[in-house]
Amino acid sequence: MKKWSTFLLLLTALSIGNNSNAQSFQKTDLGIKATINSTAIEIQYYNPSTVRVLKSPDGRPFTKESLSVIKTPQKTTFQVKQQGDWVNLKTTALNIALNLKTGAIIYSTVHDEYLLKEKQEGVQFTPFNDAGNNTFTVQQSFELDNDEPIYGLGQQQQGKMSQRNVTLNMVQGNLDDYIPFFQSVKGYGVFWDNYSPTVFTDNPQGTSFKSDVGDGVDYYFMYGGNADGVIARMRELTGQAPLFPLWTFGYWQSKERYKSQDELVEVVKQYRKMGVPLDGIIQDWQYWGSNYLWNAMDFLNAEFPKPEKMVSDVHQMNAHMIISIWNSFGPQTKQYKELDKIGALMNFSTWPQSGSDLWPPRRDYPSGVRVYDPYNPAARDIYWKYLEHMYKLRLDGWWMDSSEPDHLDAKPSDFDNKTYLGSFRKVRNAFPLMTVGGVSTHQRAIDSGKRVFILTRSAFAGQQRYGANTWSGDVTSSWNALMNQISAGLNFSLTGIPYWNADIGGFFLSRFKRKLEDPEYRELYVRWLQFGAFTPMMRSHGADAPREIYQFGQKGNTYYDAIEKYINLRYHLLPYIYSTSWDVTANQSSMMRALVMDFPKDKNALDLNDEFMFGRSLLVSPVTNAMYVKPVPGEKETIQAEDFSEIKSKTTYLPDGTDWYDFWTAEKFSGGQKVSRQTPLDIIPVYVKAGTVMPVGPSVQYAEEKKWDSLEIRVYPGANGKFVLYEDENDNYNYERGVYATVTFTWDDTKKMLTISDRNGSFPGMIGERKFNVVMVTGHTNKVIAYTGKKIVVKF
């Protein structure tokens, strides 16, 4: 990092010589205030490494209660000193310099390493009439180093890892989840706390946020030292991520849509009959019947006559079920009528636009469906009042579709819709936060015995606190779409929201006219499923063709066997995955990790968009191009046929600073190089970081079928390492009261010694005695250890 001291000393010397022009500032309990060039500026400390910056035109007091930030500013010890036109603030973690002539702010570390600065005259307030309210369009500009990668800003399907040289029109959509937060490789983050349509711009002239509506500028600067530290600061501000139940990390099957309860139950029966693991099934829309009854949250479709039996049948097969709910209501629903009475329905076009199920939709028979106002607490109460009826059926979670929400044929006047908190324009991007938060908060209030689990199509800053897993929307089935999922999920995770997934196989199969008969699609599906095995939720879903494993053949078929292999692998990795999820909750970690998180000093790793860490040990390099199809000669249209005559390969970059092991063969490689790996249909490159201690679970049909009383513990030597095995009751919130247990495995590479710690903690049903089969992957030696909760040292 560049040293800021030399430049700052020069500026100070110049300003001292002209001290008569220096403006004053006021020290407050939380920071400082100043009025500079008719702009009121306040810097508030939330802790030594996080500050809030507020700016507004002088004479226009600016106060705002954040929808995302739940932390309050804390009285923080800081030093303040004026030197000419500069006022310098210093804590144990961060230096801030405010120019009293221009109002620009500079951030640096306590070691005098330059981080970020605002552009001079970088703040702008442009008068704006927001549905009758005189306010402003607000903008703040910054200056970044030319070669400084930044990450985050939510989910964009552009295939870019670093978010430099982009312009993003940040309005929530089906495929794009915008979060106005970015973090830098330097270890700092910026959260722009505004909910209106926003344009983020990064170009040679600067980096800026510009929002349609704001009574002032409101942003947070945080320094964490590295990506994990920045995410920790962001979650301190906006809320911690609760722990999902173990069963959510198993395999999930869905499609658009099961037409009857018999069809849904039969899918679970088929998986159990075939012996293929499954933990969950999802019922998509239209179980309520017609579009005029849209989202009635009731089984009004004649094909679902006994919903209690359907849920019970699924549970009796040791599977879980979640169901689609939306954020809009048909005019014949009870919710619509009750919400309409309190003025909590908005007027703009949303899905479905027709009252008819026919395709294409008949627009001359409008559905009358309207989006509700989740900013209104009374509306959220009504929403839950009807959803609670569904909860009493013992459904296991919610699939909140269209949570952005769908805004079709959008007109500027649509944003003039009144919400409880002002115009829709003012709060538009926070819609998913409010609607997901409403369901989560209500469920948690009535039941602490079952963890909230929400699958949602959109997200906003702070949503991690509500037990929600965001999926990437109705993506098209294509190799390019698969490739783009990787950077989309990674940048989403880098905003501090750790749980993300995608429709395995892509939602729309429009590119493949032969659907499942197309060998290129079958190959794409297998590769997408392999990627999905290393994401926070492994969930197959889509339209146009069913996706159950038996649609791809039977045991012995190349595609079927590859699919089954990765579903089983997912279950073998559950002890690793569940322990990683605990690291997310307890230590503000992330499950999908861009390489910058673990290798920030390796410049070759900072902008790779086709590989990532899954947890802290596994480097995953998905295959994102067709390898085993060829054109059929003589056909008028291009038709592909499968061709497995030659095994193809993929090249993967192994980050520097550590050694790596091929997950499949245990072959060892040095980091800092590209390696080629053969990739038959049932293999994608996966590498294990040296120093890894990895638990491997048993073969099961569902996540809780067997206790972890006999685990394989793989040791990958070459560096010191540690792994914390986490266990609890698998559901409920008792873990928040300390009802869980951990066992720490520590590998000393010099002494070739694995120390298994005393077990820490306890919970009902905990295993008292167990076996660990400790495997040294080099040499394939193993030692079986009886463990009773007391410290054991294993030497190799």
Name the residues annotated as catalytic: 401, 404, 474
The DSSP H or E segment spanning 531 is helix 519-532
Distance of alpha carbon 536 from alpha carbon 499, whole angstroms:
6
Residues linked to residue 53 through DSSP beta bridges, in sequence order: 43, 219
Residues linked to residue 316 through DSSP beta bridges, in sequence order: none
- Cα-flanking dihedrals φ and ψ of residue 770, to 5°? -155, 175
Nearest to 352 by CA among 403, 408, 304, 298: 408
Burial of 29 (0-12, 13-18, 19+ CB in 10 A): exposed
Distance of alpha carbon 425 from alpha carbon 711, whole angstroms:
53
Distance of alpha carbon 485 from alpha carbon 495, whole angstroms:
16
Distance of alpha carbon 190 from alpha carbon 224, whole angstroms:
11
337 C-beta neighbours (distance < 10 Å), count = 12
Chain centroid to CA 622: 19
Angle formed by the axes of helices 334-341 and 377-391, to 10°? 160
Residues linked to residue 283 through DSSP beta bridges, in sequence order: 323
User: 368's torsion region: left (phi>0), alpha (psi -120 to 50) or beta?
Assistant: left
Distance of alpha carbon 758 from alpha carbon 506, whole angstroms:
46
In the structure encoding, which two tokens stand for residue 247, read together? 């069963």
Burial of 218 (0-12, 13-18, 19+ CB in 10 A): buried
Please, how many CA atoms are within 13 Å of residue 653, restricted to the half-sphere of its CB?
17
- Cα-flanking dihedrals φ and ψ of residue 611, to 5°? -155, 160
- Cα-flanking dihedrals φ and ψ of residue 482, to 5°? -60, -45
Burial of 431 (0-12, 13-18, 19+ CB in 10 A): buried
> Are 137 and 213 a contacting pair, CB within 8 Å?
yes
The per-residue b/e assignment along 366-390, b for 16 or more CB within 10 angstroms, e otherwise, is: bbebbbbbbbbeebbebbbebbeeb
Distance of alpha carbon 136 from alpha carbon 703, whole angstroms:
52
> Are 518 and 640 a contacting pair, CB within 8 Å?
yes
Triad 788, 790, 793: Cα angle to 5°: 110
Specify the pairing of strand 753-756 against strand 792-795. Answer: antiparallel
> Are 195 and 430 a contacting pair, CB within 8 Å?
yes
Distance of alpha carbon 628 from alpha carbon 648, whole angstroms:
8
Scan for tokens 């120093």, then name that residue: 691
The DSSP symbol for 508 reads: B
User: 30's torsion region: left (phi>0), alpha (psi -120 to 50) or beta?
Assistant: alpha
Q: List strands edge to edge, sheet with 150-155.
A: 26-27, 31-36, 39-47, 50-57, 217-223, 188-192, 177-184, 150-155
The per-residue b/e assignment along 594-612, b for 16 or more CB within 10 angstroms, e otherwise, is: bbbbbbbebeebbbbbbbb
